[in-house]
Structure 1
Amino acid sequence: MSAVEVVTRTVQLESPDETHRLGVRLGGLLESGDFVGLVGDLGAGKTHLVRGVAEGARVPRSEVASPTFAIVYPYSGRIPLYHADLYRLTGYDDLYATGFMDLVGGEGAVLVEWLDRVPEAAPREYLRVTLSHAGGEARRLVAEAFGARPSALLAAWLP
């Protein structure tokens, strides 16, 4: 198996609104088969970003909820969007039992919060977004694209 190209971009976000707007932009670019893994501490802005992505994918705001207890929540928008939250899982076996792996690479895009809890849930090619506190409401976003399609997505999202 050959090595996967990795492309990285870093952005400073000054407010939750800015994080949300960046999510809207990403949601407008997602295509079926895209996988975005989100990493960051509690309160780092993952949910703000996800809500923006859902809006950008034209998911009605009333449909967007936290899937913490359901593990995976499907949204209907411009494309099917699957939002997963792995916070409460203890490992890959817990995730496998949910049927989550059937969604990866299928119709629609997949957003996964807390990917660092079950990193093997990510496909070989994906976009990983890490959010961290940068003082006050500011956040630091580091996006890493693994593979050709994720790299193209990253270049369009954060040129």
Structure 2
Amino acid sequence: MNKRVKHFLADETATQAWATQLAQHAKAPLVIFLNGPLGAGKTAISRGFIQALGHAGAVKSPTYTLVEPYELGAVAVYHFDLYRLADPEELEFMGIRDYFSERSISLVEWPERGDGWLPPADIVINLEYKDQGRALECIAQTPVGEQIVAQLI
């Protein structure tokens, strides 16, 4: 297991294109963790992914609300940003378990801040600054994740 792919994302357009490709292969239920420093492209990937699934409006970072829901037909997409989470136990009070269902796809930025309260990721995406762009590593963590990552170029 742990199939992985690496990409260099030169700019926002390349990031959106990669996120679109990921979304084309994604099926619920699915949990994706997004790791990287501030400004590395976690929200840009989430935006591209959610828009590729059919959301026509803006996709904002849920930094202050912790989660933004998107009902996209038969699939519910939840975009989490746990950057401002003071204590992982806060996730219990917001009913975190209810967000992870058979019809949900969850994108979780700063997942380490919810350690112990989040389900395991199917896919982990690591981003870091490289030259003027970003280096992306996408790692499968489950058989479902492996099927998706195997289809990414």
Give the TM-score of the pair, scaled to structure 1. Answer: 0.87
What are the residue-to-residue correspondences of 1:92-107 with 2, within 5 Å? Answer: 92-107=88-103
**Aligned 8 A contact 1:33 1:109 in 2:** yes
Matches of 1:120 and 1:55, distance apart in 2: 30
Q: Does 1:143 align with 2:142?
A: no
C-alpha change, 1:97 and 1:106, in structure 2 (3 Å) is farther
Q: Is the 8 A contact 1:92 1:120 kept in 2?
A: yes
For residues 61 and 134 of structure 1, what CA distance do their matches in structure 2 show? 30
Alpha-carbon distance in structure 2 between the residues aligned to 1:97 and 1:71: 12
Q: CA deviation at 1:121?
A: 4.1
Matched, 1:38 2:34: yes
3-state DSSP class of the match of 1:17? helix
TM-score, length of structure 2 as denominator length: 0.90
Distance 1:61 1:93 in 2: 31
- Deviation, structure 1 residue 106: 3.4
Rounded Cα–Cα distance in structure 2 between residues aligned with 1:124 and 1:41: 21
Q: Which residue of structure 2 aligns with residue 12 of structure 1?
A: 8
Q: CA deviation at 1:33?
A: 0.8
Instruction: State the 1:120 CA deviation.
Output: 3.1
Residue pair 1:129, 1:144 contacting (<8 A) in 2 also: yes
Deviation of 1:76 after TM superposition, in Å, equals: 2.0
Q: CA deviation at 1:125?
A: 4.8
Is the Cα contact below 8 Å between 1:68 and 1:88 reproduced in 2?
yes
Once the two structures are TM-superposed, the CA of residue 91 in structure 1 deviates from its matched residue by 3.3
Provide the residue aligned with 1:89 in structure 2. 85
- Cα deviation code 1:79-98 (max 9, x no counterpart): 21111110011332022211
In structure 1, distance between residues paired with 2:118 and 2:141: 10
Q: Does residue 23 of the first structure (1) align with residue 19 of the second (2)?
A: yes
Return 5+ residue gaps in structure 2 as ranges. none
Match of 2:68 in 1: 73
Is contact 1:30-1:57 (8 Å) kept?
no
- Unpaired stretches in structure 1, ≥5 consecutive residues: none
1:26–1:56 Cα contact (<8 Å) kept: no
- Name the structure 2 match of 1:119: 115
Contact 2:33 2:121 in 1 (8 A): no
Report the residue type matching 2:95 in the other structure. Answer: G
Count of residue pairs brought into register by the alignment: 152
Q: Distance in 1 between matches of 2:61 and 2:20?
A: 17
**How far apart, in 2, do the equivalents of 1:116 and 1:37 lie?**
9
Partner of 1:61: 57
